[in-house]
Amino acid sequence: MNSRLLNRLAISLIVACAVVMVGTLAALLGYILYQGVSQISWSFLTSDSSAFQAGGGIKNQLWNSFYILFITMLLTVPLGTAGGIYLAEYAKQTRFTAFIRSCVEVLASLPSIVVGMFGLLVFVNYFNWEYSILSGAVALTVFNLPVIVRVTENALCSVSEEQRAAGLALGMTQWHTIKKVFLPAAFPGILTGVILCAGRVFGESAALLFTAGLSSPNLDFTNWNPLSANSPLNLFRSAETLSVHIWSVNSVGIIPDAKEVAAGAAAVLVISVLTFNLVARLLGRIVEKKMTGK
């Protein structure tokens, strides 16, 4: 009787925790969307932000967020998966690799403001890249690389050792087995890590304050020459992202409709992250099916 009671108690506790969690999430999402969706309009999404008048938009910030995300992923994903492959498949268990692993862990738990300071000192000042997309993207790479490394390593380690034997016994080399068997099998796990990182990049503000800057030149969306100063593709211009914009209109902005702009921008941010997740998972499922058979 006693153990039955305990069983019931444990189940209700777990259910209660789940309800609290889902409830909080739903309330948060609902609040942000309720406050923000009414602010979103075509002109809000497609006009420049204003410095002191009401009615500014978020066009450049939205573009900057996606562009920084893209550049960061371009740097993080290849480096991170390569590091994960090394740790999972090639590294011998020595004191040196144990040291690398703990470094990766420490790096993953660095507060983002510290990463921002590091970016300011190294990329912005020392390398003289100034406040730029590149500084921001490299700082975010520092911030996200360890996550991808760990996720890749874990995903590869969870592929059964028997698969390695199977590959080698069929006269394939270790690299070919990793490439054709291990990476496809680990793909869903790696993709989850990439999506998590993308969400972090999209929502990051502290690390970008000091690296990508608080302002954005007025972008000319007809000029796609990456070397020109007001081109959206220019890597060496300062770029305020959406989440930095939310922070700045709320704390240092002087526009009269700061609250509305922040609420609208927050809703756009949340919707973008959700859409990104869904699309990435959908694409992932298609790719996985292609690699693993129906």
Q: Which residues bind another protein (CB under 8 A)?
A: 160, 162-173, 176, 180-181, 184-185, 291-294
The length of the chain is 294
Smallest distance, another protein to C-beta of residue 130, A? 48
> Which of 15/168 has CB closer to another protein?
168
Question: What does the alpha-carbon distance between residue 269 and residue 202 come to, in Å, rounded to a whole number?
Answer: 8
User: CA-CA distance, 212 to 139, in Å (whole number)?
Assistant: 9
C-alpha distances in angstroms, 119 versus 126, 169, 187, 214? Answer: 9, 48, 31, 15
Of 45 and 166, which CB lies nearer to another protein in the complex structure? 166
Smaller CB distance to another protein: residue 251 or 293?
Answer: 293
Backbone angles phi, psi at 179, to 5 degrees: -65, -45
CB of 127 to another protein, least distance (A): 43
Q: Which residue has the tokens 């410095």?
A: 51
Rounded to a whole number of angstroms, the minimum distance from the CB of residue 176 to another protein is 5
Q: Which CB sits closer to another protein, 228 or 292? A: 292
Question: Could you tell me the smallest distance in angstroms from the CB atom of residue 152 to another protein?
Answer: 17
Smallest separation, CB 180 to another protein (Å): 6
Residues in contact with 182: Cβ distance below 8 Å, sequence separation at least 6, in sequence order: 89, 156, 159, 163, 164
If the CB atoms of residues 1 and 162 are measured against another protein, the closer one turns out to be 162
Integer-rounded Cα radius of gyration of the chain: 23
